[in-house]
Amino acid sequence: MINNPNLAAWTCPIPLKNYPTIVLGHGSGGKMMDDLIKHLFSPAFDNEFLAQLHDSTAIDLTDTFQSVPPNRLAFTTDSFVVSPLFFPGGNIGELAIFGTINDLAMSGAKPLYLSAGFILEEGLPMKTLGLVVNSMAAACRRGGVLIAAGDTKVVNRGHGDGLYINTTGLGIIPESVNISAKNARPGDAILINGNVGDHGMAIMSVRSGLEFETTIKSDTAPLNNLVDSILEVTTEIHCLRDATRGGLAAVLNEIATASKAGIEFDEKAVPIMPEVKAACEVLGLDPFYIANEGKMIVVVPKAKADEVLMAMRKHPLGLNSTIIGSVVEEHPGMVTARTSIGGKRIVDLPAGELLPRIC
């Protein structure tokens, strides 16, 4: 979570103060929208690109290409519709920035520029938007990216869930890096940078109808710096995937399918906080399917595994990193787990939305 003391004290600057909530006019392209841009978005995301205030932003990449040789662009987009907007350990704004940074970082790219598209529901408190936007600005500083383009639309009350954000990201992939979900090879080691399930269970703990008291916090974090630390050790990284929706199980299945290889991991090796484990037990959920926002799977040749693990453990976002399994010749496209009692089972893709069991 971003500890910006100004966040809680954020108050609407004049003339937004006249509007304690978002109204349709804030998306109409007129004076009110201009106020919103001038007094909220521009100061928060302050940079030369956004200051162009043009239909599209012109970005001069000469300097960037001097530090990273021009090779390939990484380009991604993601929409954020999380409910509630604020949850233990973060909010929708941070997620929107870190999520897109992480998607870029999973190609080994250096994330550079993001766009931010806001869909606001009429009646959204201006204060809520202010908190989210300022949190996004702080997240950009932490992740080392700039918001270079933006858009705002307002929809009628009842046509949205307060606030949706879309972010699109651009990054540059260094020449020597070739990371893809297709690259896992039998014998490769599979690593993870820490505990799984924190984000999903933090969200569940505050979801309407289920509120339970817990100390679980979302793990939302930008992983690009951790990826840099790994790439300093070796560029021979076969796969990187952040284990977001569908959790660890979905990501491992994606890698197994794309690489046409089998994956086997040890259930006991996967780090899970006792609180998360207990909450999953109570709700009848499997922590391997729960979403994360700051966890990634790293697939590297076995010979490099220890070195990469050491580098990950030295990074603040990888203190609890560990090797959880390996890529195998058998059962291509399928993920299996060694169970706590020494049996073996399939770990499949989740069928759909996770539904808590009856008893």
Partner 1 sequence: MKYIEEYRDADLTNKLINELTSILTRDWTLMEVCGGQTHSIMKSGLDQLLPKKINLVHGPGCPVCVTPLELIDKAIALASRPDVIFTSYGDMLRVPGSTSDLLSVKAAGGDVRILYSPLDSLKIAQENPEKTVVFFGIGFETTAPPNAMTVVQAKAQGIRNYAMLVSHVVVPAAIVALMESPDVKVDGFLAAGHVCTVMGYWEYEQLSHHYEIPIVITGFEPVDVVHGILKCIRQLENNEHKVENAYARSVVREGNPLGQAIINQVFELCDRTWRGIGLIPQSGYRLRQEFSHYDAELRFPEIQSIETKESELCISGLVLQGRKKPHECPAFGNQCTPQTPLGATMVSSEGACAAYYRYGRYAKS
Q: Which residues bind partner 1 (CB under 8 A)?
A: 209-210, 274, 277-278, 281, 283-284, 331, 334, 336, 339-346, 348, 351-352, 355-359
Q: How far is CA 147 from CA 10, 42, 60, 227, 301, in A?
A: 20, 10, 15, 21, 36
Closest approach of partner 1 to the CB of residue 288, in Å: 11
Place of tokens 């046409």: 260
47 within 8 A of 147, measured Cβ to Cβ: yes
CB of 354 to partner 1, least distance (A): 8
Which residue lies nearer to partner 1 by CB, 176 or 339? 339
- Quickly count: other Cβ atoms within 10 Å of residue 181's Cβ: 19
- Provide the token pair at 105: 């970082």
Decide whether 46 or 348 has the Cβ nearer to partner 1. Answer: 348
The residue among 290 and 298 lying less far from partner 1, judged by its C-beta, is 290
CB of 68 to partner 1, least distance (A): 42
Q: Could you tell me the smallest distance in angstroms from the CB atom of residue 291 to partner 1? A: 17
Residue tagged 């990826």 (tokens): 227
Judged by beta carbon, residue 5 or residue 343, the one nearer partner 1 is 343
CB neighbour list of residue 40: distance below 8 Å, 6 or more residues apart: 13, 16, 129, 130, 133
Q: Comparing C-alpha atoms, which of 62, 172, 189 is closest to residue 113? A: 172
CA atoms of 238 and 189, how far apart (whole Å):
10
- Residue 30 or 356: which CB sits closer to partner 1? 356
> Least distance in Å: CB of 280 to partner 1?
10
- The answer for residues whose C-beta is within 8 angstroms of residue 22's C-beta and 6 or more apart is 120, 121, 122, 123, 124, 125, 126, 129, 154
Q: Which is nearer to partner 1, 50 or 276 (CB)?
A: 276
* Euclidean distance between CA atoms 294 and 218, whole angstroms: 8
Q: How far is the CB of 345 from partner 1 (least distance, A)?
A: 4
Residue closer to partner 1 (CB basis): 24 or 269: 269
Beta carbon of residue 295, minimum distance to partner 1 (angstroms, whole number): 21
Which helix (H) or strand (E) segment holds residue 171: the answer is strand 163-173
